């Protein structure tokens, strides 16, 4: 089964080069000019760190790498987000239920789209199978060849191409495409990978919520 995901734009973060004095002698000019380490720090998404660096940028040339890393670790510790207790741990301690539910939902969506596509082309498939000539030759004549006796000029060009491609897959027992705008139009259109992921995640949440409710109803702590 073929799924074509939407490609998202990725930002390229700007980088700042920061030079540190040598740990052996950070107070001498020679050490500052010849024995420096270099690290790069991403500016994007690090507003707090950026503000801190702006305040201390003049001091960094006199700071060793070890001193800076200690300062960075302290900042990370102070700004570490508080972890929430997983409310589903009691009903799914190893995550196996969540994984199983997720993949069942995701694969179920793929299967549903595949069945929708095949159902949409069912009549055209039957026509091709019962054609007086080879089925593949028939669909090539009807959908691709204007000179053929079987050609149907009433079908729009793009829809004709989709029909031929999907029927070819069905007749050769190959995977139909799951981004077919014609076959899937009546069921809400094609889905992106992100949309399918969101549906699968919601299925997991619904499943685990139901288990928690069931646990509470039975009086388990």
pLDDT, averaged across the chain: 76
Q: How far apart are CA 63 and CA 47, in angstroms?
A: 22
Q: Give pTM, 2 decimals.
A: 0.57
DSSP secondary structure of 2-30: B--PPPPP-----EEEEEEB-SS-TTSHH
Q: How far apart are CA 87 and CA 208, in angstroms?
A: 9
Give yes or no for residue 79 having a pLDDT over 80.
no
- Going by C-alpha positions, the residue among 203, 187, 174, 193 that lies closest to residue 113 is 187
**What percentage of the chain reaches a pLDDT higher than 90?**
49
pLDDT value, residue 113: 94
Q: Which residue has the higher pLDDT, 89 or 71?
A: 89
Average pLDDT over residues 6-35: 42
CA atoms within 13 A on the CB side of 77: 6
pLDDT value, residue 221: 55
pLDDT tier, 41 (very low <50, low <70, confident <90, very high otherwise): very low
Q: How far apart are CA 167 and CA 145, in angstroms?
A: 15
Give yes or no for residue 51 having a pLDDT over 90.
no
DSSP count for the chain of H helices, then E strands: 8, 2
Q: How far apart are CA 87 and CA 174, in angstroms?
A: 43
The tokens for 33 are 């000019």
Q: Which residue has the higher pLDDT, 23 or 180?
A: 180
Query: 112-126 pLDDT, tens per residue?
Result: 999 999 999 999 999
Q: How far apart are CA 32 and CA 97, in angstroms?
A: 57
Q: How far apart are CA 151 and CA 26, in angstroms?
A: 83
pLDDT tier, 162 (very low <50, low <70, confident <90, very high otherwise): very high
């Amino acid at each position: 089964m073929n799924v074509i995901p939407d490609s998202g734009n990725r930002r390229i973060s700007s980088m700042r080069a920061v030079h540190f004095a040598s740990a052996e002698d950070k107070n001498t000019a020679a050490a500052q000019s010849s024995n420096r380490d270099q690290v790069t720090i991403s500016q994007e998404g690090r507003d707090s760190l950026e503000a801190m660096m702006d305040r201390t940028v003049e001091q960094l040339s006199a700071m060793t790498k070890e001193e800076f890393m200690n300062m960075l670790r302290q900042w990370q510790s102070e700004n570490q987000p508080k972890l929430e207790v997983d409310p589903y741990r009691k009903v799914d301690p190893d995550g196996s239920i969540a994984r199983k539910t997720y993949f069942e939902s995701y694969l179920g969506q793929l299967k549903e789209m595949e069945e929708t596509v095949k159902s949409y082309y069912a009549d055209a498939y039957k026509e091709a199978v019962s054609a007086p000539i080879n089925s593949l030759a028939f669909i090539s004549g009807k959908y691709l060849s204007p000179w053929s006796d079987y050609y149907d000029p009433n079908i729009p060009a793009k829809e004709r191409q989709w029909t031929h491609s999907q029927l070819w897959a069905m007749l050769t027992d190959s995977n139909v495409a799951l981004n077919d705008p014609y076959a899937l139009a009546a069921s809400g259109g094609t889905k992106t990978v992100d949309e399918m992921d969101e549906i699968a995640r919601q299925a997991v949440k619904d499943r685990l919520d139901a288990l928690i409710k069931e646990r509470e109803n039975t009086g388990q702590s």
